[in-house]
Amino acid sequence: MARKSATGRIGIADVALKAGVSHATVSRVMNGNFTVDPDIAARVRAAAVELKYQPNPVGRSLALGKTDTIGIVVPDLANPTFQAILRGLSRAAAQDGYRVLIADSFEVSSEEAILAGEARRRCDGLVLCAPRMGDAELAEIAPSLHPLVLINRTTAAPGVPSLVVDYGLGVQALAEHLVELGHTRLAFLAGPAGSASNGLRLEGLAVFKASHAHVDVTMLDGGSDFDTGHEAVDAVLASGATGILAFNDLVAMGLMSGLHERGVNVPADISVTGFDDIPFARYTTPTLTTAAVPIAELGAQAWHQLRALIRQEGTETPGVRYQPRLEIRSSSGSAPVSPAP
């Protein structure tokens, strides 16, 4: 009968003794090396089954040079958008036998490079989702993180595919919708200053303003969560705007809650729009007009791109650009005769 190691766990030495082969032979068989004689391999596997041997995953990873794990770094895991991206990534990766290691930078851009480096050392590849770090820092660290895929960010570093949502076109579509409803005074509740997607929204609004000289667009400080929208009520009312473009759905929901507390009716007094179309957007009161992004598809596509890099399937790493779809619901309506009190 095989003798267990000091830890009480059946190891390679036990299997080797049982099968009458060397430790190296057991290791090669367990790692799928087909150069081992089939009869010997069968004997090793039979011994492993009899002893109920379970390979050490750490040791196996070191032997194979792979972990069957990928990492993703997100700026705020509490945000349903990033949760949906993670869900799409995890489900797609699981179909190929990969697990996902998650790191949350909590919107602290200085932590991203550290988290990305630590995650990459433990994984076979990395997804950086909407990183807040500067362009120069991203370009500097990207080669050390390869294979790497970016979501909602681009870099000049070679061999790094990017999956980008056209936030500029999305916010223009929302602004056009409000203008068609008669609104001529709009306000944009901005996102985090370091957010690349916020920058794309601002670029889109600049294009919109250039072709709509009669429309006044006020820029207001905001954020990316429910609280920042709720706290922006005073600034929104002071702006005199009748149509509000919130950075995302969470900000829009927080704003609508705050407006309701003040007795301001949405959309009779003020129209509010969001961005992303998270699952809650269709269940708010009123339901939220927003720009829908294929969030789960972003995650799944990130895995497909990363898998191609890990497997070295060709040298092309094409990026993918997504155009948001306007979802008109009840939170946007005709411009009021006079602004909200």
- 3 in a domain, yes or no? no
**pLDDT for 237-251, tens place per residue?**
999 999 999 999 999
Domain boundary among 254, 275, 293: 293
Cα–Cα distance for residue pair 134/194, rounded to 1 Å: 8
- 5 in a domain, yes or no? no
Domain identity same for 197 and 289? yes
Mean pLDDT of 134-144: 91
Mean pLDDT of 139-168: 93
CB 10 within 8 Å of CB 52: yes
| Pick from 25-34, 77-86, 281-290: least confident | 25-34
Give residue 249's identity as a one-letter amino acid code. Answer: D
Task: Out of 63-67, 103-107, 138-142, 212-216, give the one with best mean pLDDT.
Answer: 212-216
DSSP assignment of 70-88 equals EEEEES-TTSHHHHHHHHH
Task: Report the CATH number that the domain containing residue 260 is assigned in CATH.
Answer: 3.40.50.2300
- 336 in a domain, yes or no? no
How open is the CA angle 320-326-328, to the nearest 5 degrees? 160
In the predicted structure, residue 7 carries a pLDDT above the cut 90:
no
Domain identity same for 152 and 190? no
Q: List the domain range (segments joined by +) for residue 103.
A: 69-165+295-324
Domain identity same for 250 and 318? no
- 329 in a domain, yes or no? no
- 210 in a domain, yes or no? yes
Output the CA torsion sign for 130, 134, 138, 139: positive
Please name the residues in contact with 211: beta carbons below 8 A apart, sequence gap of 6 or more.
Answer: none
- Report the predicted TM-score, pTM, of the whole model to 2 decimal places: 0.78
- 332 in a domain, yes or no? no
In the predicted structure, residue 329 carries a pLDDT above the cut 70:
yes
Domain identity same for 252 and 304? no
In the predicted structure, residue 1 carries a pLDDT above the cut 50:
no
Would you state the structure tokens that stand for residue 6, as one six-digit string?
Answer: 């000091």
Cα–Cα distance for residue pair 2/195, rounded to 1 Å: 59
Structurally, the chain folds into a number of domains equal to 3
In the predicted structure, residue 2 carries a pLDDT above the cut 50:
no
> How confident is the model at residue 55, as a pLDDT?
64
Domain identity same for 133 and 81? yes
| 8 band by pLDDT with thresholds 50, 70 and 90 | low
Percent of the chain surpassing pLDDT 90:
67
pLDDT, averaged across the chain:
89
Domain identity same for 177 and 268? yes
Domain identity same for 284 and 212? yes
Mean pLDDT of 165-170: 97
- 106 vs 150, which has greater pLDDT? 150
Task: Report the CATH number that the domain containing residue 34 is assigned in CATH.
Answer: 1.10.260.40
DSSP assignment of 26-66 equals HHHHHTT-TTS-HHHHHHHHHHHHHHT----HHHHHHHHT-
In the predicted structure, residue 106 carries a pLDDT above the cut 80:
yes
Domain identity same for 279 and 310? no
- 255 in a domain, yes or no? yes
Peptide bond into 286 cis (omega under 30): yes
In the predicted structure, residue 54 carries a pLDDT above the cut 90:
no
Domain identity same for 130 and 46? no
> How confident is the model at residue 163, as a pLDDT?
95
Domain identity same for 50 and 119? no
Beta partners for residue 113, in sequence order? none
Burial (CB count <10 Å: 0-12, 13-18, 19+), residue 73: buried
> How confident is the model at residue 314, as a pLDDT?
64
Would you state the structure tokens that stand for residue 233, as one six-digit string?
Answer: 């009520």
CB 195 within 8 Å of CB 225: no
Mean pLDDT of 244-262: 98
Peptide bond into 80 cis (omega under 30): no
Domain identity same for 173 and 275? yes
- 108 in a domain, yes or no? yes
Domain identity same for 187 and 139? no
**pLDDT for 292-315, tens place per residue?**
999 989 999 999 999 999 988 865
- What phi, psi does 276 have (nearest 5°)? 120, -40
